[in-house]
Amino acid sequence: MGKIALALTSADDGSLAAAERADLVELRLDHLGAPSYEALVDRFRGRCIVTYRKPDEGGVDGDVSEHVRLDLLARAAADERVWAVDFELGCHGHIPADPKAKIIVSSHDFEFTPHASDLASMRDEIESTPCDIVKIVTTARHEPDCFAVYSVLKGASKPIIALAMGEFGSPTRLVSLKLGAELTFAAAAEGKGSAPGQLALDEMLGLYRCREITAATSLYGVMGDPIAHSMSPAIHNRAYVEAGIDAVYLPFRVAGDPAEFVRRMVDEVGLAGMSVTIPHKEAVMNCLDHIDPVAKRIGAVNTIVVDAERGGPKLKGYNSDQRAACDSIEKAMGGEGSLAGSTVAVCGAGGAARAIVHGLADRGARVIVANRTRSRAETLAAEAAGTVEVLDPSELPGASFAALANATSVGMHPGETSSPVDPSALKEGMVVFDSVYNPLETKLMSDARAAGCVVVDGLEMFVGQGAVQFELWTGRPAPAGVMRSAALDGLRARGRKG
């Protein structure tokens, strides 16, 4: 099981308190200053890593001479209170004979990630030095760079730390633990990191439970671009804890080919399942061995199940948005079977609308599609099975329907004051469903409440699609209640950040 080291760059109260919660504390003396050595080594006796990075390896204290810097590292290596000392490759000639601390020999690349074979040569060179732990840090400029890091980890014959900096490399900070890395690093708090892409300690310990990640931990995630604000990690990781499942769910920023990414994640890291979000729901279908007929008809997959089968794992694609949205509407209309023969107006003709319109038509509803761009509504209506009519959004107040679903982005933050329909279209007793969940209470929803409608928020669909994914992946009922409270916590935290 890997350890978590807090990269201490400031001795303020918050950072020192965070350091108490970590297994190890990396004393970044180039940030903290050499005079702080005694007090900090004493405070973190037996669990500190002494690092005094030189400027061309990412250090910030450019005034100190190389001679002084290396002397301090050599002194730390002979100090019984120190857990480890980090010498950069090239400076390893200064490692004292018979050190008391463990010796890390490291290499950092702040520009890019070398090819996997070059990284392997570097690892072999470091392993040939008198080090106890190899450390290789690169910069990921796009997501395939992570695979070079994973391959260097898997081929190591000494204990190793390997990760890639930057947003694309961020998952390596956790996946490396599954692949046997000695430790990973965290920042004292968001924005206090010593390297790009470093996550805060509380996030690493709480959301991702990094101390529990082992080779046996099942790896799931969500891929998209952008991905930083996805709330899927919050709901899935909370669900695994609730269900007592040894699994972790990470966000992956993927800018290139999503099909290639998924294949490599399965083959090289043992991915167990993936959620797919914008803009990859169509292109990811190229890597699938089987696509659920509903997802095929919608033309979008948001869930990939990896089925271990003889002859290699098979990748299966589903669309959980469709089931979640239609279940939410159907429940509000009176339960199973209530959609058959009812008329539902759907605003929008994009990805979410496609899932909802196909799903409603499959359940026997008569559907009205109303979209700003009429031609897109007409295309969708022509593709869906069943009775589907097209109206302009301005015609909705004169139309008759039992439920209305907003599948446009109108009303979403920062456009909270807008609604996709005129309030006169909303009638007492009508079911009004909004797929937008940020904000949780949209203008459409408050108009609908004022008109006496039954209102369903977008979080119900969001949690519902996550619950369907959980069930597809684990074969167990999803703890939907805790998933919803995790999503609410996520929305509140987002609100606090503005």
Segment holding 118, helix H or strand E: helix 116-127
Pull the structure tokens for residue 420. Answer: 């996709």
Asked if 352 interacts with ligand NAP (CB under 6 A), we say yes
In the complex with ligand NAP, the residue whose CB is nearer, 257 or 378, is 378
State yes or no: is 292 an active-site residue: no
Segment lying near ligand NAP (by CB under 6 A), choices 258-266, 441-449, 457-465, 487-495: 457-465
How many residues belong to the site for ligand NAP (CB under 6 A)? 24
Among the listed residues 84, 154, 168, 166, the one whose alpha carbon sits nearest the alpha carbon of residue 119: 154
Choosing from 281, 316, 358, 443, the catalytic residue is: 281
Site string for ligand NAP, 400-419 (x = CB under 6 A): -------xxxx-x-------
CA distance 8 to 187: 7
Asked if 321 interacts with ligand NAP (CB under 6 A), we say yes
- Nearby residues of 435 by Cβ (< 8 Å), 6 or more positions away: 325, 352, 356, 405, 406, 407, 458, 461
Note whether 206 and 177 are within 8 A (CB).
no
Burial letters 16-41, b for 16+ CB under 10 A, else e: bebbeebbbbbbbbbbbeeeebeebb
Note whether 195 and 58 are within 8 A (CB).
yes
DSSP 250-300: EEEE--S-HHHHHHHHHHHH-EEEEEE-TT-TTGGGGG-SEE-HHHHHHT-
Segment lying near ligand NAP (by CB under 6 A), choices 106-114, 140-148, 152-160, 342-350: 342-350
CB of 29 to ligand NAP, least distance (A): 46
CB of 295 to ligand NAP, least distance (A): 14
Q: CA 324, 326, 330: angle at the middle one, nearest 5?
A: 120
State yes or no: is 281 an active-site residue: yes
Residue number of the CB closest to ligand NAP reads: 350
Segment lying near ligand NAP (by CB under 6 A), choices 52-60, 67-75, 239-247, 350-358: 350-358
Q: Where are the alpha helices (DSSP H) in 336-437?
A: 351-362, 374-383
In the complex with ligand NAP, the residue whose CB is nearer, 50 or 461, is 461
Asked if 372 interacts with ligand NAP (CB under 6 A), we say yes
Site string for ligand NAP, 233-272 (x = CB under 6 A): ----------------------------------------
In the complex with ligand NAP, the residue whose CB is nearer, 2 or 351, is 351
* Ranges within 13-42 binding ligand NAP (CB under 6 A): none
- Reduced to 3 states, what is the DSSP secondary structure of residue 320? helix
Choice from 317, 348, 359, 490 touching ligand NAP (CB under 6 A):
348
CB of 107 to ligand NAP, least distance (A): 42
State yes or no: is 321 an active-site residue: yes
- CA dist list (Å): 341 to 67, 68, 389: 83, 82, 14
Pull the structure tokens for residue 110. Answer: 């702040």
Site string for ligand NAP, 271-310 (x = CB under 6 A): -------x--------------------------------
State yes or no: is 108 an active-site residue: yes
- CA dist list (Å): 469 to 121, 306, 476: 41, 12, 10
Segment holding 40, helix H or strand E: helix 37-43
Choosing from 31, 135, 358, 443, the catalytic residue is: 135
CA distance 216 to 222: 20
Choosing from 108, 236, 316, 358, the catalytic residue is: 108
For binding to ligand NAP (CB under 6 A), which residues are involved?
Answer: 278, 321, 348-353, 371-373, 376, 407-410, 412, 435-437, 458, 461-462, 465
Active site residue ranges: 108, 135, 281, 321
